[in-house]
A and B are shown apart, each in its own frame.
Chain A
Amino acid sequence: MEPTNTLFMAKAVIILVVFAITLGVAAYSTYFERKIAAFMQDRVGPDRAGPFGILQPLADAVKMFMKEDFIPSHANKWLFIMGPCLSMLTALMTSAVIPFGDTVTVAGVTFDLQGIDVNIGILWVFGIVSLGVYGILIGGWASNNKYALLGGIRAASQNISYELAMGLSIIAILMFSGSLSTKTIVEAQQNGHWNIFYQPLGFIIFIVCAFAECNRTPFDLPECETELIGGYHTEYSSMKLGFYLFAEYINMFISGAVMATLFFGGYDYPGYEFVANKLGETPAAFIGAGALIGKALFFVFVFMWVRWTLPRFRYDQLMNLGWTGLIPLSIYNVLVTGIGILSGQPIIAGIAGFVLLILGLIIYDQLTVKKKIA
């Protein structure tokens, strides 16, 4: 085979594997979401299908396919079908630029464990994420239901608002790495120089925005049950509903992977050198891919942890937080980072910004909440 063809095959295999991992993780996220919720709420959770209920996602899939696929008579039929498809499509496209691992050599072919390494990697993620809202918006409108419409409208304004703060929080990262390529960003963080140490504030802004972009509690207003019944997916049933829910879990996993890539060193892990010396580069790179997935899964856990702990915001409070809280904060972060880079002590600037934030939070909490109630 020609080298280009081999490389093409390798990339195809990577894309397939990434696809499979993403879908598998998303399927098992539903199981772990329920297990974690059960643990937090002093319950058992799913335990009927297979040992410890680990076949529950399969049972759920069967259930989803078997249910009546209902299309309301006044709905716009094609757009109604298009909504969940778009959600799923955009959710799956994001993982293309995430570097899952370093260079590996398998059967004499050397390649990166990454779908595509474009020099605008992180912008690609943003572009796709900003398209994710179409699925919700179209599905919400096509249902011809007031709750669904309100959910769609909430989703659109929420996603647009939080994308700004998210983009601004990444600018500080780009100032360090000097490149938009995800691969370069990860390579700049090797050997423990993770961006989280330099950018704690940026990370907090990013994770809050990720919650909002994934429509998770405390920002799950587009689908909040107690106000809008199901929000944009009120009228959906069967696998169309399944696609919406699935897309949400995929988004969670992908945003976890993006956070790991941008802030937690990507596929870097302590002892990489040691493993590389002992076993060789290729096994070390594969362990690195495992490390990245592990980090992403940890963030998925954080998503669930928060969901079962916090109440949700009101629509105007959410907008207020986004526009008057996070955006000025991220501009402040960019400023602090600039000062840090100019003075040559980025880590001090990062930590100073973080300490300031924590102090502010503690003082706010003590003054407004604890003092009054206790």
Chain B
Amino acid sequence: MEVSNYWYFLSGLTLLSALMVVLSKNPIHSVLYLVFTFFCISGHYVLLNAQFLMAVNIIVYAGAIMVLFLFVIMMFDLKKNIPDSKTNLTKLAGTVVAGSVLVILVAAFRTIQYPTPDESTFNPNNGMVENLGKVLYSEYLLPFELVTVLFFVAMVGSVMLGKREVGDRNF
């Protein structure tokens, strides 16, 4: 089988599961479809020979962030907290916004010449962890360090928010 066939299959699966995230009524199902979407995206990374990104995507998004999402949603009483059904106006507004975004995206893709890599100079190992690390710690060192500071601030902030004073209520 050609690689492009894998690509079509994966893309279809990704789109389908992403649609199901939006369409499914049960929030738990939505979260699980989202996890599946992340898996499909990881599959795309594998096709791009970016194994490190694939693993990190699974560890960080599917393994940690979505677990927390699921964790929080599980605490809800889903029977009590069913979201109200949307009015026709909101449905219409949603359709218009989404449709115009789609039109703009298609138009943009049509005008932009998407550069295809030159086969003679392309290094298929670009996505490998060694190359990624070299680029990350030489060319992009400053942004990388800044991101760590950002993360640190976010972490301290969440600890401050989550900390309960003596006598406080949980929520």
Contact = CB atoms under 8 A, between A and B. Distances in A.
Asked if A and B form a direct contact in the complex, defined as CB atoms under 8 angstroms apart, the reply is yes
A49 interface: no
B156 interface: no
A159 B62 CA distance: 13
A141 B54 CA distance: 28
A137 B128 contact: no
B149 to A, nearest CB: 18
B51 A118 contact: yes
Contact of A141 (B56, B64, B74, B129): B74
B64 A152 contact: no
A155 B66 CA distance: 15
Q: Is the interface of B mostly helix, strand, loop or mixed?
A: helix
Contact of A79 (B28, B54, B56, B67): B28
B58 interface: yes
Contacts of A162: none
A131 B74 contact: no
B21 interface: no
B51 A160 contact: no
A126 interface: yes
A120 B52 contact: yes
Interface string A109-139: 0000000001110011011011101100110
A123 B74 contact: no
B157 interface: no
Contact of B67 (A120, A126, A129, A160): A160
B132 to A, nearest CB: 10
Nearest to B68: A160
Contacts of B56: 123
B71 interface: yes
B80 to A, nearest CB: 14
B28 A123 contact: no
A218 to B, nearest CB: 23
Contact of B58 (A79, A127, A138, A180): A127
Contacts of B32: 79, 138
Nearest to A164: B64
Contacts of A163: 63-64
A137 B59 contact: no
Secondary structure of the A contact surface, majority rule: helix
B58 A153 contact: no
A130 B63 contact: yes
A104 interface: no
A131 B52 contact: no
Contacts of A119: 51, 128-130
A153 B71 contact: yes
Contacts of A157: 71
Interface string A144-164: 000001001100110110010
B35 interface: yes
B153 interface: no
A149 to B, nearest CB: 7
A156 B74 CA distance: 11
Contact of B59 (A118, A123, A156): A123
A234 B15 CA distance: 36
Interface size class of A (residues with CB under 8 A): 20 to 34
B63 A127 contact: yes
B71 A130 contact: no
A137 B58 contact: no
Given A131-B63, A149-B74, A120 B35 contact: no
Interface string B17-57: 00000000010100010010000000000000001101110
Contacts of B54: 120
Nearest to A126: B59
A123 B74 CA distance: 28
B74 A152 contact: yes
B44 to A, nearest CB: 16
A132 to B, nearest CB: 9
B13 interface: no
Contacts of A152: 74
A159 B35 CA distance: 17
Contacts of A129: 63
Most A CB contacts (10 A, CB to CB) among B26, B52, B55 go to B55
B64 A123 contact: no
A231 to B, nearest CB: 15
A134 B67 contact: yes
Contacts of B59: 123, 126-127, 130
A7 B95 CA distance: 52
Contacts of B128: 119
Given A126-B55, A160-B68, 6 more contacts: A119-B130, A123-B59, A137-B70, A137-B71, A141-B74, A157-B71
7 contacts: A76-B28, A123-B55, A127-B58, A127-B62, A134-B67, A134-B70, A137-B71
Interface of A: 76, 79, 118-120, 123-124, 126-127, 129-131, 133-134, 137-138, 141, 149, 152-153, 156-157, 159-160, 163, 180
Q: Which 10 A-B pairs have the closest CB atoms?
A: A130-B63, A123-B55, A127-B58, A120-B51, A141-B74, A127-B59, A120-B55, A127-B55, A156-B71, A130-B59
